Amino acid sequence: MIETKYTAPSAEFLEQRKLKRHAGVWQLWALGVGAVISGDFFGWNFGLAAGGFGGMIVALTIVTVMYAGLCLSVAEMAAALPHTGGAYSFARSAMGPWGGYVTGLAENMEYILTPAVIVVGIGGYLGAIFETSKNFEPVWWLICYAVFVALNVWGVELSFRFSLVITLAALVALVVYWVSVAPQFDLARYATPYFPKGVAGFWACLPFALWFYLAIEQLPLAAEESHDPVVDIPKGLSWGLTTLVVCAFLTLTLGSGSAPGAAAIAKSNEPLFLGFVAAYGNSASSKVLAVVACIGLIASFHTILFAYGRQIYSLSRAGYFPVWLSTTHSVRKTPHRALVAGAVMGFSAALGMHYAPHDSPVGAILLNMAVFGAVIAYVLQMASFLLLRHRFPALVRPYRSPLGRAGAWVSGVIALVTLGTLFGNAEYVKGVYGAVVWFVLGLIWFALYARHRLILSPEEEFARAQRGEL
C-alpha cells in the first residue's frame, strides 16, 4: 500500500502544461483577499443561529489566531518551495507521496466546495434583486459558473486584473454597508441574548467564523504565475490577512447589531441586503446596493475558480489526478480542463443539496463540507511546517515565520478542534458525512490506481531530491 511508481515526463508533456508569469504583490494581495471577501457577504451569518453574537465573536477571535499561525507558516514554506502545488507540494516534501496526496485531496475538496457555497449566496442576492423564485436559483448558479470559468480560461492577465478591480470594489461595498447600518447599530437591542446556547456555544460557531478567512492560504498556488513568488507571496499573505481581520470584526459586529436583528440575519442567504433594506427601505436604491453587495461574492467566486484550477492542474501534472486534466490551453496557457472539471463538480454538489430532502440552508450545509476539507488540509500543512523545520534545517528559507513552531502548533490544534465540532452539529452533520465519503473514495483512487502512475513534475523532482529519493 505504501510503494509508489514514477515515470519521467517527456518534453512534449511539459510543453503542453506551461503557465504564464504575470502577478506582482498587489495582484497576489487581491487574489488572497478576493478569494475570501465573500465571507463578509454571506455564510458567517449562519453562525448567529449556531451560537449567537457572543459565540461568534469568541469563535472569530480563536480562528483569527489560527489563521495568523497558518498564513505565516505557509508564507515560509511558499518562499522555500515556490511551486504551483502549494499545500500538496509542502506535504510531499515533508511526508512523502501519501502525505502530499492526502493534503492535496483535502484542499481540493475545500476549493471545489467553496465556490459552490459562494454561488448559492450569489443566487440568493440575484433572486432578491430580480424577484425570481427559489426554483430559479440553480439557473443563476449555472450562469455564474459559465461566465467565470470562461473568464479564467481567457487568460491569466485578465484574471489578475479583474481580481484586483473586483476586490477593491468589494471592499468599497463593505464600507458602504458599514456606513449604512452604523446609524441603527445597537447590539443590546438586535443581538441579544449574546450566548443563546450558553457560553460553550462558541464551539458550534467555529466553522462559520472560519468562513471569514477560508482560502486566504491559496496564494502559493499562483507561484508559477508570479514574477517573484519568493518575495511577493509572503507579502501578499500577510497584507491580505491584515485586511481580512479588519473586515471580519467590523462586519460581524455592525451586521449583528443592525436593524434587521441577528435572528433574521441568521437565516438569510443575503444578510447584507437585509441591512440595506432596514436602512433605506425595500426601494430601488436598496436593490442597487444589493447589486453592490453581490460584488464581494463575485470577487471570491472568480478567485476561488482560479485556485481550484491551479490545484487540480498541479495534482494532475504529477499523476495524482488523471493527467489529461493538467493540459493547458494552447494559446491562453490556462488550465482549461481543470477549470471545467472543477465547475462540474461544484455545480453538481450545489444542485444535489438543493434537491435533497432537508430543512437546513443549502449554503450552510455546503459550508460545513468545505470546512471539513479545509481543516484537514490545515492540520497537515502545519504538520508539514514542523517536519520541514525538523528534517530539513538547511533548506533555504528566504522568509521565516515570526511565530515559528509555536504558531504552527497552535494553528494545527485549533484546526483539529474545529474538525471535531463539525460532527457535533446535527443540523449539518449529514453533509459532513457526505464529505467523508468523498474523501474516502479519493483515498481508494490513490491506493488502487494513481500511486502506480506518478510523474516527475517539478514538485515531485524537488521533493524527491530533498528527501534523497532520486
Q: Is the pLDDT of residue 1 over 60?
A: no
How many CB atoms sit inside 10 A of residue 161's CB?
14
193 preceded by a cis bond (ω within 30 of 0): yes
What would the pLDDT profile of 353-392 be if each residue is shown by its tens digit? 999 988 888 999 999 999 999 999 999 999 999 999 999 9
CB 343 within 8 A of CB 189: no
Contact call for residues 194 and 13 (beta carbons, < 8 A): no
Residue 186, pLDDT score = 95
H helices, E strands: number in the chain: 17, 2
Q: In Å, what is the CA distance from 150 to each residue of 159, 182, 332, 365?
A: 10, 38, 11, 27
User: H or E stretch including 379?
Assistant: helix 362-391
120-124, 202-206, 330-334: least confidently modelled range: 330-334
Task: Please report the pLDDT score of residue 330 as a whole number.
Answer: 83
- Measured in degrees and rounded to the nearest 5, phi and psi for residue 20 equal -120, 130
H or E segment at 371? helix 362-391
Q: Is 304 exposed, middle or buried (0-12, 13-18, 19+ CB in 10 A)?
A: buried
Q: Is the pLDDT of residue 443 over 80?
A: yes
Taking CA atoms, 67 is separated from 38, 55, 62, 301, 308, in Å, by: 17, 18, 9, 21, 20
Residue 388 lies in a domain: yes
Task: With H, G, I as helix, E, B as strand and everything else as coil, classify residue 23.
Answer: strand
| pLDDT value of residue 433 | 96
Residue, of 131 and 418, whose pLDDT is higher:
418
Instruction: Please tell me the predicted confidence (pLDDT) of residue 470.
Output: 64
Which stretch of DSSP H or E encloses residue 410?
A: helix 404-421
98 in a structural domain: yes
Mean pLDDT of 163-189: 92
Overall domain count for the chain: 1
- 127 has a pLDDT exceeding 80: yes
Q: Is 56 helix (H, G, I), strand (E, B) or coil?
A: helix
For residues 424 and 132, give the distance between their C-alpha atoms in angstroms, rounded to a whole number. 35
Average confidence (pLDDT) over 201-218? 93
119 occurs within a structural domain: yes
Q: What is the pLDDT of residues 66-98, one digit of tens each?
A: 999 999 999 999 999 988 788 999 999 999 999
- For 160-170, the pLDDT digits (tens) are 788 888 899 99
Does residue 178 lie within any of the structural domains?
yes
Q: What is the mean pLDDT of the chain?
A: 91
Distance CA 379, CA 299 (A): 27
In a domain, 378, yes or no: yes
d(CA 237, CA 75): 7
| pLDDT confidence tier of residue 235, bands split at 50, 70 and 90 | very high
pTM of this prediction? 0.92
φ, ψ (nearest 5 deg) of residue 232: -80, -35
pLDDT digits (tens, 9 = 90+) for 384-430: 999 999 999 999 999 999 999 999 999 999 999 999 999 988 889 99
The residue range of the domain holding 215 is: 6-467
Spatial distance between the Cα atoms of 83 and 460, rounded to a whole number of angstroms: 10
> Of 403, 381, 377, 375, which Cα lies nearest the Cα of 77?
381
CATH code of the domain covering residue 398: 1.20.1740.10
How many C-beta atoms lie closer than 10 Å to residue 120's C-beta?
A: 27
Per the CB < 8 A criterion, the answer to whether 171 and 29 are in contact is no
Banded pLDDT at 28 (limits 50, 70, 90)? confident
Residue indicated by cell numbers 524537488: 462
Query: Which alpha helices (DSSP H) does 281-355 contain, by range?
Result: 284-317, 336-355
User: What are the backbone angles phi and psi of residue 170, rounded to the nearest 5°?
Assistant: -65, -40
Residue 1 counted as domain residue: no
Please name which of 185, 202, 245 lies closest in space to residue 57, comparing C-alpha atoms: 202
Does residue 166 fall inside a structural domain?
yes
